[in-house]
Amino acid sequence: MPQGGAANGGINTGEAHSARVYDYILGGKTHFAADRAAADDLTSAWPKLPVSMRINRATMHRMGRWLAEEAGIRQFLDIGTGIPTEPNLHQIVQGIAPESRVAYVDNDPMVLEHARALLASTPQGRTSYLDADMRDPDGVLRSPELQATLDLSRPVAVTVIAMLQFVEDASALLRGLTSALAPGSYVALTTATADITPDEVTEMARRYTERGVPMYLRTRAEVEELLAGLELVEPGVVPMNRWRPDADAAEIPDTDVNMYAAVARVV
């Protein structure tokens, strides 16, 4: 842990953390000087980063709505939740189906501090927060909190939004999660790529990695490989602005995003 780091109940304030960088760029209040410095540095490398982060959030909302409305999913497992930014996933899906049950997973102490915002479920449904490492999918799936919230014998939607770029062996992570899911379950993800704006995003990833947050950029083919064995939902792996955009939304150029989005079904 870097010098000047351990403070505020074990939170490392001296080193940037992806959840707090994300919060700062989205206009939140849960961040420290190291996070702001990192965010400013990343944005100087690729000035459209704040735009892309907002599009990522909107993509999560569309995915949640599609999973609840079109796929009929009533159980959700959100991996790498981050600092709560309303509307959160449970607010999206319980607005459609109040009986929906949502389990949030993260292992950042600051997310834990704010977890009460994730627990405001409808009376008909349920939400829970699990303080766990997503790189241990078996531990996540076997946790008492998750098992008290979700019935893994029935379909579950696993959402992994803007997280896999921080996981080197993302394939093993997804295999570990999907192996325990019932047929008819889904995986929804967004993850970073340099395919669209290679020079700027590659430089941004290099700077993030230098600050102690390794960032793994993936091609479209690599993202498709992560979902091998699952049934891709149309339109497949696409720049996230192109994943089922709202009919009345203004068209967003691909160069405004640095992530692919995809939803796939467990068969």
Residue 129, strand partner residues: 104
pLDDT at residue number 10: 60
> Does the pLDDT of residue 83 top 70, yes or no?
yes
Range from 112-116, 120-124, 180-184 carrying the lowest mean pLDDT: 112-116
- Is residue 53 one of the residues assigned to a domain? yes
Nearest 10 degrees: Cα torsion 206, 209, 261, 149: -170
Q: Which amino acid is at 139?
A: G
* Band (29; pLDDT cuts 50, 70, 90): confident
- Could you tell me the CATH number of the domain that includes residue 106? 3.40.50.150
Read off the pLDDT of residues 63-79 as tens digits, 9 standing for 90 and up. Answer: 999 999 999 999 999 99
Read off the pLDDT of residues 1-28 as tens digits, 9 standing for 90 and up. Answer: 233 334 445 677 888 888 899 889 988 8
SS3 (DSSP) at 63: helix
- Is residue 192 one of the residues assigned to a domain? yes
- Is residue 81 one of the residues assigned to a domain? yes
How large is the average pLDDT for residues 136-164?
Answer: 95
Query: Parallel, antiparallel, or unpaired for β 186-192 and 259-265?
Result: antiparallel
pLDDT at residue number 165: 96
- Which helix (H) or strand (E) segment is 77 a member of? strand 75-79
Distance CA 140, CA 107 (A): 11
Share of the chain above pLDDT 70, in %: 96
Structural domain including 115 reads 6-265
How large is the average pLDDT for residues 213-228?
Answer: 97
Decide: 125 and 150 in contact? Cβ < 8 Å.
no
- Is residue 1 one of the residues assigned to a domain? no
Read off the pLDDT of residues 153-201 as tens digits, 9 standing for 90 and up. Answer: 999 999 999 999 999 999 999 999 998 999 999 999 999 999 999 999 9
Read off the pLDDT of residues 246-258 as tens digits, 9 standing for 90 and up. Answer: 999 999 999 999 9
- Is residue 67 one of the residues assigned to a domain? yes
Q: What's the structural domain count of the chain? A: 1
